[in-house]
């Protein structure tokens, strides 16, 4: 088994490969109890049609057996009172693929069955779960994968307006709210988290307009673009991404940069996703090109250990993980931009 660090990078590199499997029969409801907990759906909301990258999907009634092939979609479901019957592994750290920030939403329900997608969706296992809906909002589903999954149950794929793995957490939450007939509840959840961002911005006026970036040490230096959820966290706190960032990485969520573009890293606050603080610090300090930048000399860095709950929340970026993340990240960002290199 490979570690969670390169595994999540592989997921985020869009390495979902097609698998040519023939799925016979369609999933549907059975006599088993639905995997739901709390919160009545607005049945007057149905039928509801959701548009996405591969067209549109009409949902005729409130889904009761949901499988998520989107890597973070389960949090919006849980926040709105529905426990999925199947989730897709992303971080590799948590039973049921349910992070610590979402555990209390499980109640007494059984943890979802965890699927993998290193070779594409596990069609046969998904079909065996008899879903009445498959969610792939935070995903990179291909047309072929979407078509095959649609033989099992209705599928809501990633939105066409954003790059793969690029759906904002607000839209992910609101879309799941529409799917469940709970749009008002979803809107309240979004408003509550946005209020947390607003307070953090108000409490830290030094964030406004300061340049910031999220990067990781992976095959050199890998930086995340404006459509990546991690970068959006910084933007929502008032920071500004480097002006030519997306021009450098293209229409992707992120990319490796050449040594000639290490200047992109020279921002007011630089968030590093690292395997461990010690290993990340040693690697960065050993690079003379990087350690010569002001961002390094003035210690304007935040090192987030990948594989910890903190690091997982930084990669998850959901309506449930964000409050947990902001409690830890905001004080560190404040220390990074305070102008005092001695601040830990």
Please check whether residue 147 lies inside any domain of the structure.
yes
Contacts of 190 (CB under 8 A, 6+ apart): 170, 173, 174, 319
DSSP β-bridge partners for residue 254: 224
Q: What is the rounded CA–CA span in Å between residue 336 and residue 17?
A: 39
pLDDT, tens digit (0-9, with 9 covering 90-100), for 160-191 = 999 899 999 999 999 999 999 999 999 999 99
Q: What is the rounded CA–CA span in Å between residue 319 and residue 97?
A: 15
Share the mean pLDDT of the chain.
87
Are 211 and 174 in a shared domain? no
Q: What is the rounded CA–CA span in Å between residue 297 and residue 133?
A: 51
Are 171 and 214 in a shared domain? no
CA dihedral 28, 30, 32, 33 (to 10 degrees): 60
Q: What is the rounded CA–CA span in Å between residue 35 and residue 63?
A: 10
Q: Count CA atoms closer than 13 A to 307's CA, side-chain side.
A: 10
The DSSP line for 210-231 is: -BEEEEEESSSEEEE-TTSHHH
DSSP β-bridge partners for residue 255: 223
For residue 89, give the CATH number of its domain: 3.40.50.1980
Are 39 and 168 in a shared domain? yes
Supply the pLDDT for residue 59.
97
Are 132 and 216 in a shared domain? no
pLDDT, tens digit (0-9, with 9 covering 90-100), for 45-100 = 899 999 999 999 999 999 999 999 999 999 999 999 999 999 999 988 899 999 99
Please check whether residue 50 lies inside any domain of the structure.
yes
Place of tokens 């002006």: 243
Q: Are residues 155 and 149 in contact, defined by beta-carbon separation less than 8 angstroms?
A: yes
The pTM score is: 0.85
Tell me the percentage of the chain whose pLDDT exceeds 90. Answer: 75
- Domain span holding position 329: 204-336
Please check whether residue 193 lies inside any domain of the structure.
no
Please check whether residue 44 lies inside any domain of the structure.
yes
CA angle 344, 284, 231 (to 5 degrees): 75
Please check whether residue 11 lies inside any domain of the structure.
yes
Please check whether residue 343 lies inside any domain of the structure.
no
DSSP β-bridge partners for residue 58: 49
Are 222 and 171 in a shared domain? no
- 182, 217, 246 - which closes a domain: 182
Are 148 and 211 in a shared domain? no
Are 144 and 266 in a shared domain? no
Are 209 and 163 in a shared domain? no
The domain tally of the chain equals: 2
Are 22 and 145 in a shared domain? yes
Are 128 and 242 in a shared domain? no
Are 160 and 238 in a shared domain? no
What number is the average pLDDT over the span 117-132? 96
Place of tokens 């590199």: 13
Please check whether residue 161 lies inside any domain of the structure.
yes
Quote the radius of gyration of the chain (alpha carbons, Å).
Answer: 20
Please check whether residue 92 lies inside any domain of the structure.
yes
pLDDT, tens digit (0-9, with 9 covering 90-100), for 193-251 = 999 999 999 999 999 999 999 999 988 899 999 989 999 999 999 999 998 898 888 77
- Strands (E) across 38-149 are located at 48-52, 55-59, 66-68, 86-88, 113-115, 133-135
């Amino acid at each position: 088994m490979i570690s969670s660090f390169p595994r999540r990078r592989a997921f985020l590199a869009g390495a979902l490969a097609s698998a040519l499997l023939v799925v016979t029969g369609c999933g549907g409801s059975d006599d088993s109890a639905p995997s739901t907990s709390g919160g009545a759906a607005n049945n007057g909301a149905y039928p509801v049609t959701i548009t996405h990258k591969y067209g549109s999907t009409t949902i005729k009634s409130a889904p009761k057996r949901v499988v998520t092939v989107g890597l973070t979609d389960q949090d919006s479901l849980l926040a709105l009172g529905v426990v999925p019957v199947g989730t897709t592994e992303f971080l590799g750290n948590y039973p049921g693929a349910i992070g610590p920030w979402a555990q209390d939403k499980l109640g007494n329900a059984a943890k979802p069955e965890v699927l993998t997608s290193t070779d594409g969706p596990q069609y046969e296992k998904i079909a065996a779960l008899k879903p009445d809906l498959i969610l792939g909002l935070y995903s990179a589903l291909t047309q072929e994968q979407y078509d095959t999954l649609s033989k099992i149950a209705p599928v809501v794929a990633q939105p066409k307006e954003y790059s793969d793995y690029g759906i904002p957490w607000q839209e992910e939450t609101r879309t799941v709210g529409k799917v469940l007939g709970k749009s008002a509840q979803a809107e309240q959840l979004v408003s509550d988290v946005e209020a947390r961002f607003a307070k953090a911005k108000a409490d830290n006026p030094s964030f406004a307009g300061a340049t910031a970036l999220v990067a990781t040490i992976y095959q050199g230096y890998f930086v995340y673009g404006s459509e990546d959820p991690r970068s959006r966290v910084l933007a929502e706190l008032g920071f500004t991404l480097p002006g030519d960032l997306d021009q450098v990485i293209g229409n992707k969520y992120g990319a490796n940069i050449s040594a000639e573009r290490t200047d992109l890293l020279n921002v007011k606050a630089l968030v590093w996703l690292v395997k461990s603080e010690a290993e990340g610090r040693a690697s960065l300090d050993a690079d003379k090109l990087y350690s010569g930048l002001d961002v390094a000399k003035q210690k304007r860095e935040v090192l987030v250990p990948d594989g910890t709950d903190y690091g997982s929340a930084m990669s998850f970026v959901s309506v449930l993980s964000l409050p947990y993340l902001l409690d830890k990240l905001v004080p560190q960002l404040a220390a990074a931009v305070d102008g005092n290199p001695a601040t830990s």
